[in-house]
Structure 1
Amino acid sequence: MSFASPFPDVEIPDLSVYDLLFGSISDEDLDRVALVDPTSGTETNYRQLIGQIDAAAGSLAARGVGVGDVVGVLLPNIPAFATVFHGILRAGGTATTINALFTAPEIAKQLTDSKAKMLVTISAMLEQAHTAAKQVGITDDKLIVLDWTGEADTGHPNAIDLLRPQLPAPQVTFDPATHIAALPYSSGTTGNPKGVALSHRNLVANLAQIRPLQGQHPDDVVIAVLPFFHIYGMTVLLNGALYNRTRLVIMPRFDLVEFLENIQNHKVTGAYIAPPVAVALAKDPIVDNYDLSSLRTIVSGAAPLDDTLGTAVAERLDVQMLQGYGMSELSPVSHMMPTDASAFGQDQPPLASSGWPVPNTENKIVDPTTCAEITIPEEGLSEPGELWVKGPNVMLGYLGNDQATTETIDVEGYLHTGDLAQVDAAGCVYIVDRLKELIKYKGYQVPPAELEALLLSHPRIADTAVVGVIEEDTGEEIPKAFIVTRPGTELTAGEVIDFVAAQVAPHKKVRAVEFIDRIPKSAAGKILRKDLRSLAH
């Protein structure tokens, strides 16, 4: 049976992203600080940011960007990301955000698939950007290098060339429900990346859906370490902060010391993280050297967070620890814990869960083998099944890939997430693991996330990942654990195997162990299991 969000429906404005964020901004909010660059100390208020966005839109339009044209954005987290991203949307264009760690061939592949006619980057990424641009036919005057010497010297426009003309933003007309605003690409950790077509309405809807659950206020300060090129950072951090008029402290990459210093120095009140950051906050002794008393709320997403780890962070930092769930195809948030769960008769939502469906959405949990709908239990947890989601945040589809779209979104409008989930009697959803990542050992299903959470509770394990590998002698798929030990400690494979075996059913036991220096992860914090499988030996 389907079950709806327990939260009241919210109004979804029929607006573009720009008009939602800035169309009715008050004079008081115009003078609020929007973005902070902690490295330089530069602060940008909303009035300045809107002026920069309008100027970028005018310049892009003069350079040939119109309604429906795609512009590649290859940038780390810097304040200029907001100007470029929203300038593209303001001009009627579509922003395809590119992983800042991509190689030239990977960049070229995305530029080709998205049919981008322009690319914006910085000098640190120019080598791979220029190689990719040249390969796909983007000329130097269409490759903007924000921090370089400029068009007159190099043929590449820079930020001054982009903003100095002060051309008025163009008057553009499009349907927010069908016009593609953002074109992120799926992570590719389990398959070939696909362009996820997100309309203005998709992004606007998701901001409206999560706003009442976030509990953010204009006086809040949020730290942004998750990459803006990823949909989590794009919607929840960048656009979410701008929508709520909060102050955003921007970090180009995660460094634990800088992260802690910025929380301390800028009196950060909220943080959005992925589970690897939670591991550091729970276990690294250096955390105790910083005053983090301003921090009230931490929200984890991008991958399942174990409740033991989440509780350890909450108790160590004296914060409210919350979790959410989503995916690029859902703009991205479909489930979230509210900062105030009193309506559910709870002081704290169950941290093992991903929270409740966001407003204006419906869910189903479906047996992946029989396609039978799984009912909500009167107590405890339901049987596991694939999570299906329907709502205004569901993507338009995969760019140029009708087959993949119809395989993912059914005729009733439900998006099949590919994630295995359970639901409790209160309608709270628990993500078990990716269906594609489940290890099949002698016919039994073994969720890697469950074993990873257990392994992380070991005092000598700093990080871990579990994947299915084929055992040479038997040809059987078995769970293999990759282990990063804490500095100054020693651990044997046998100790790891015995630790797990003492706490799980026999079919879930870890049957092989390999010690490595670090667990490969995407910029959004997802474990790159395909990389680990290639390492397995």
Structure 2
Amino acid sequence: MVLRSPFADVEIPDVTLPDLLFADVAARAARPALIDGPSGRTLTYGELAAAVDRLAAALAERGVGKGDVIGILSPNTPYYAVVFHGALLAGATVTTINALYTPEEVASQLTDSGARMLFTISAFLDRARPAAETAGVSDVVVLDGAEGHTNLSELLATPASTPEVALDPAVDIAVLPYSSGTTGRAKGVMLTHRNLVANLLQGQPFLQLDGENRVLAVLPFFHIYGMQVTMNHALLNGATVITMPRFDLAEFLRVIAEYRTDRVYIAPPVAVALAKHPLVDNYDLSALRLLLSGAAPLDADLAAAVRSRLGCRVRQGYGMTELSPVSHAIPADRDDLSVGTVGLLLPNQAAKLVDPASGEEVGPGVPGELWVRGPNVMAGYLNNPEATAATIDSDGYLHTGDVAVVDEQGCFSVVDRVKELIKYKGYQVPPAELEALLLTHSGIADAAVIGVRDAEGEEVPKAFVVRQPGAEDLGAEGVMAFVAEHVAPYKKVRAVEFIDAIPKSASGKILRKDLRDRETATPA
């Protein structure tokens, strides 16, 4: 059966993302748009719009325009929004790069996306420079300045005219974040201007923001959740975004207290700290009205503990990069819906639940793989038609790889995953990537990676390793150290088990179910 949103469809205008966000900026020009949490440095809406306009002019002056890709490797700052939207206004595509990536990972994304410029900060140059060199990117702009590099102030000083670029919102790619999708290595997710515009407007009945709200942006802007739900949705509604460059609990609590932020968007690990850490009692969090959790499932009991301690509403949503990103959420004003669910289907979408084994559609109360269709479904994976075809069917439904169940109220709960992807603290960890890396070790003959639960219930990557003959001295610490040298911290292998052979099917596919049946090791 086809499942639909209880909300009426919303109108989606045929405009680009900058057109949508800055159309009425004059009416709120003096209002703070973004505030840097650590320093208090503020960009008003008028200043933001002017800076976006100037950067677009500077990029056009450098020959950047439609079809070009700009990379951003930066923590959250108010100027992230300037670069992001300035590039879009110039007609370019933005690929947002994980700020934790190693030089190898940054270079891989720059190369795969075809980026011609990279924006970064001086503290990241030790990774950005070698990555850019490897990828053949010669134009590296350092936002806060560094010898030998253009800085943002120089670009914003250009006298050039703002370009007029003809874009088709339904076709032209606005952003190119990277996701592992339902399985495999990270792929460029092609999101059009229409995808992003549509999802922002689909979320309006749920998040219910206005110019009086102050939204804390601790979720990284390079992640689709931070980019769209935190940054862009707040800017659409004239709210003020308080940026944090990274998560630190004491600083996180200080910023909420000092700036009186009433909306805080998080991933579940932060909810654990808010529910249990004694430091929380040292700060005045009385301004907080809504806590929204996403990126991984939030336990209902944990949500209740946070609500009880902080006295605020707690909500949960569901989505994925390929959905721009939100498909489900609990509306801010619906206290009658269980926070243990991911909520209702957003407007303008249809969904199905399909039995993974039989391919038959199932109804309420019966688990099935969640399929979603709507204007927020990605255009596809960059240069990867096979992966695109495996994810989006001929009827336009995106197969999420998550198993869900829907109740009689229309609320969905995610109960399992068809896909092999590991979710560690809200970050995607593709087993195939770690397996490929492990096989480059001279002492490893074969390897497989699955997600297991640690003592706190967090899913972590565990490697099953077959040693090469003569490599008997290779231990778990050595394997974990090797992986840690080559990947971002959240991708690290945190448990290792040595076995005689990796179980595989006749076709050579790893039998992960057999590995999951083995005793789960406690992560080191």
Structure 2 contact 57–90 (Cα < 8 Å) conserved: yes
Shift of 1:406: 0.5
The match for 2:272 is: 279
The aligned residue for residue 79 of structure 1 is 78
- Equivalent residue, structure 1, for 2:145: 148
RMSD, aligned α-carbons: 2.8
Are 2:323 and 1:330 aligned?
A: yes
Partner-residue secondary structure (3-state), 2:185? coil
Matches within 5 A, 1:103-502: 103-139=102-138, 142-149=139-146, 153-154=147-148, 156-186=149-179, 191-341=184-334, 347-376=335-364, 382-437=365-420, 481-483=453-455
1:385–1:422 contact (8 Å) kept in structure 2: yes
The worse-fitting range, judged by mean Cα deviation, of 36-45 and 268-277 is 36-45
1:212 is displaced (CA, Å) by: 1.8
Residue 188 of structure 1: how far off its partner (Å): 7.7
Aligned pair in 2 of structure 1 residues 438, 144: CA closer, same or farther (>3 Å)?
closer
Residue in 2 that maps onto 1:498 = none
Q: Which amino acid aligns with 1:17?
A: L
Which TM-score applies when normalising by structure 1?
A: 0.80
Shift in alpha-carbon separation, 1:70–1:478, aligned structure 2, 3 A = closer
Unaligned runs of 5+ in 1: 342-346, 377-381, 440-447, 453-464, 468-476, 486-513, 515-525
Matches of 1:193 and 1:534 in 2, distance apart? 23
Amino acid at match of 2:494: L
Cα separation, partners in 2 of 1:269 and 1:163, compared to 1, 3 Å: same
Matched AA of 2:65: G
The amino acid that maps onto 2:362 is I
Superimposed CA distance per residue, residues 331-373 of structure 1 (whole angstroms, 9 cap, x where no aligned partner): 00000110122xxxxx332111000010100110000010100
Deviation for aligned residue 1:25: 2.7
Offset at 1:434?
Answer: 2.2
Helix, strand or coil at the partner of 2:493: helix
Q: How far off is 1:534 after superposition? A: 4.5
Superposition deviation, residue 217 in structure 1: 1.4
Contact 1:189–1:529 (Cα < 8 Å) also in 2: no
Please give the alpha-carbon distance, in whole angstroms, between the structure 2 residues aligned to 1:237 and 1:187: 22
Identical pairs, percent: 53
Contact 1:189 1:530 in 2 (8 A): no
- Report the Cα offset of residue 394 of structure 1: 0.1
C-alpha distance in 2 between matches for 1:261 and 1:167: 41
Superposition deviation, residue 285 in structure 1: 0.9
Relative distance call for 1:266 and 1:189 in structure 2 (3 A) is farther
Contact 2:14/2:194 (8 A) holds in 1? yes
Counterpart of 1:532? 494
**1:144 aligned partner, one-letter code:** V
- Inter-CA distance 292–310: structure 2 relative to 1 (3 Å threshold): same
SS of residue paired to 2:494: helix
Deviation at 1:483, TM superposition (A): 2.1
Do the aligned partners of 2:182 and 2:419 also contact (CA within 8 Å) in 1? no
Opposite residue 21 of structure 2, the aligned amino acid is L
1:483/1:165 CA distance change after superposition, 3 Å: same
Offset, 1:187: 5.0
The superposition leaves residues 249-283 of structure 1 with CA deviations (integer Å, 9 ceiling, x where unpaired) of 10000111111111111111111000000010001
Give, in whole Å, the separation in 1 of the partners of 2:295 and 2:493: 18
1:500 maps to which residue?
A: none
Shift of 1:479: 9.0
Partner in structure 1 of residue 473 of structure 2 = none
- The answer as to whether partners of 2:100 and 2:489 remain within 8 angstroms in 1 is no
Residues 165-204 of structure 1 show CA distances to partners (whole Å, capped at 9, x for unaligned) of 1422200001000000000000589530000000000000
Q: Supply the distance in 1 between the matched residues of 2:168 and 2:3 (Cα, whole angstroms).
A: 30
* Per-residue Cα deviation, 1:362-394 (whole angstroms, up to 9, x for no partner): 110000010100012xxxxx1211000000000
Deviation track 1:122-153 (CA, whole Å, cap 9, x = no partner) reads 111111111011112112xx11111124xxx5
Are 2:173 and 2:191, in contact at CA under 8 Å, matched by a contact in 1? yes
Contact conserved, 2:42 with 2:78, CA < 8 A, in 1? Answer: no
Distance 1:212 1:423, change over 3 A: same
Q: Which amino acid aligns with 1:273?
A: I
What secondary structure is seen at the aligned counterpart in 1 of 2:60? Answer: helix
Whole-angstrom CA distance in 1 between matches of 2:21 and 2:394: 32
Q: How many Å separate the matches in 2 of 1:195 and 1:103? A: 18
Give the paired residue count: 454
Change in CA separation of 1:122 and 1:116 when aligned onto 2, cut-off 3 Å: same
Give the Cα–Cα distance (whole angstroms) in 2 for the partners of residues 95 and 333 of structure 1: 20
1:124 alignment partner AA: A
Q: What is the alpha-carbon distance in structure 2 between the residues aligned to residue 303 and residue 294 of structure 1?
A: 25
Would the aligned equivalents of 1:189 and 1:528 in 2 still touch at CA under 8 Å?
no
Aligned equivalents of 2:160, 2:318: Cα separation in 1: 41
Q: Secondary structure at the match of 1:201?
A: helix
Matches of 2:421 and 2:102 in 1, distance apart?
Answer: 30
Alignment of 1:15-54 (within 5 A): 15-27=15-27, 29-54=28-53
- Ranges of 4+ aligned residues in structure 1 off by more than 6 Å: none
- Offset of residue 244 of structure 1: 0.8
Aligned to 1:511: none
What's 2:518 paired with? none
Give yes or no for contact 2:266–2:293 (8 Å, CA) kept in 1. Answer: yes
C-alpha distance in 1 between matches for 2:22 and 2:95: 22
Give the match for residue 510 of structure 2: none
Shift of 1:38: 2.0
1:365–1:388 CA contact under 8 A, matched in 2: yes
